[in-house]
């Protein structure tokens, strides 16, 4: 399995380093960290960021509140479909999309891949049917997935993974890819664990937002602390899961990253680009 790290969306909320911890200007820099995995069962995308339709008609697809609050940059160079084509693949080769959750900044690219089966937790799709309240109504945008033809929904079934519940054997996917339910940010939020030749990798989605939240001496910027507070549906579960993820990082059982931290993304993207380049030169693939 070869893994590509893609940034499928840029968000630049006003607040600079108060959000991202490094920007010097007024705006901050958040990414939408997605994965493209080459498998024997075709291409697998983990999360989709913003898609072509979001970019073409943002105001009919997304909430004006989040467009403004997150200062979303609509640029098709970040779309998963364009990046996949730049890597030399055809969008039709994307057979599966696994979603950490259905928020607007994760599900926007679904309809750019009409041949893909979409995998998501059952509790998450149920949460989108109950869009009561200011945030719920604006975070879930059913227009982003109303043309999806093939869905697979999952419930935790007692399997375990380093002390976490896990969902194994996702339909049609290699056994190395698992759902790890991590509720809190949304009801059906889940991480996606991948067993690679170098060990386990966990896409933790929006279970945390800032790299230093996973350090033994926890730290989060005020902007991202407030954003997580605004978006959470279950604080107790969210903080408990963050605590367990911190233990997982310390134990070295898995490497993990979240969706929106630009520094984390850069480190993973550079490392995987180097690995993919050297394995291409060994295999003769260009």
| Binding site residues, Zn ion, CB under 5 A | 105, 206, 259
Residue whose structure tokens are 């949304």: 186
Handedness of CA 188, 227, 4, 195 (dihedral sign): negative
Nearer to Zn ion, 46 or 95 (CB): 46
- Least distance CB 224 / Zn ion (angstroms): 11
Q: How far is the CB of 10 from Zn ion (least distance, A)?
A: 13
Distance between CA atoms of residues 63 and 153, nearest Å: 26
Half-sphere exposure of 126 (CA within 13 A, CB side): 9
Residue placing its CB nearer to Zn ion in the complex, 58 or 172: 58
Which among 54, 156, 181, 51 is positioned nearest to 110, based on CA atoms?
A: 51
**Minimum distance from residue 140 beta carbon to Zn ion (Å):** 12
Residue whose CB is less far from Zn ion, 29 or 95: 29
CB-based contacts of 121, cutoff 8 Å, min separation 6: 101, 153, 154, 155, 167, 179, 181, 188, 189, 190
Q: Which is nearer to Zn ion, 113 or 227 (CB)?
A: 227
Closest contact distance (angstroms) between CB of 260 and Zn ion is 6
Smallest gap from Cβ 251 to Zn ion, in A, equals 26
Closest C-alpha among 119, 95, 94 to residue 107: 119
Rounded least distance, CB 166 to Zn ion, Å: 22
Comparison of 95 and 127: residue with beta carbon closer to Zn ion: 127
Least Å distance, CB 261 to Zn ion, is 11
Using alpha carbons, select from 150, 58, 50 the residue that is nearest to residue 109.
50
Contact status, residue 212 vs residue 219, Cβ threshold 8 Å: yes
| Residue whose pair of structure tokens reads 């024997």 in the numeric block | 40
Q: Provide the minimum distance between the beta carbon of 198 and Zn ion in the complex, in angstroms, as a whole number.
A: 26
Measure the CA–CA gap between 259 and 218, rounded to whole angstroms.
18
Q: Which is nearer to Zn ion, 9 or 91 (CB)?
A: 9
Bridge partners for 203 per DSSP: 192, 257
148 neighbors 118 (Cβ within 8 angstroms): yes
Q: Which is nearer to Zn ion, 117 or 186 (CB)?
A: 186
Residue with smaller CB distance to Zn ion, 95 or 189:
189
**Closest by Cα among 268, 260, 269, 262 to 101:** 260
């Amino acid at each position: 399995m070869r893994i590509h790290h893609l940034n499928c969306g840029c968000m630049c909320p006003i607040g600079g380093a108060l959000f991202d911890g490094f920007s010097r200007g007024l705006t901050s820099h958040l990414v939408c960290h997605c994965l493209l995995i080459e498998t024997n069962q075709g291409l697998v995308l983990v999360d989709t960021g913003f898609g072509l339709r979001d970019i073409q008609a943002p105001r009919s697809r997304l909430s004006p509140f989040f467009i403004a609050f997150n200062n979303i940059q609509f640029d098709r160079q970040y779309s998963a479909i364009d990046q996949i084509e730049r890597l030399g693949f055809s969008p039709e080769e994307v057979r599966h999309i696994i979603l950490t959750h259905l928020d607007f900044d994760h599900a926007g690219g679904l309809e750019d891949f009409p041949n893909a089966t979409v995998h998501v937790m059952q509790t998450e799709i149920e949460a989108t049917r109950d869009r009561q309240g200011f945030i719920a109504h604006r975070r879930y945008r059913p227009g982003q997935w109303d043309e999806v033809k093939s869905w697979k929904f999952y419930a935790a079934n007692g399997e375990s993974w380093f002390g976490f519940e896990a969902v194994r054997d996702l339909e049609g996917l290699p056994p190395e890819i698992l759902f790890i339910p991590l509720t809190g940010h949304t009801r059906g939020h889940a991480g996606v664990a991948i067993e690679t030749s170098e060990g386990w990798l966990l896409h933790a989605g929006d279970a945390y937002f800032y790299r230093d939240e996973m350090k033994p001496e926890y730290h989060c910027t005020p902007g991202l602390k407030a954003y997580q507070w605004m978006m959470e549906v279950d604080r107790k579960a969210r903080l408990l899961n963050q605590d367990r993820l911190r233990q997982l990082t310390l134990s070295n059982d898995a490497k993990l990253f979240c969706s929106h931290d630009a520094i984390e993304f850069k480190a993973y993207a550079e490392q995987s680009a180097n690995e993919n380049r050297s394995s291409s030169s060994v295999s003769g693939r260009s």
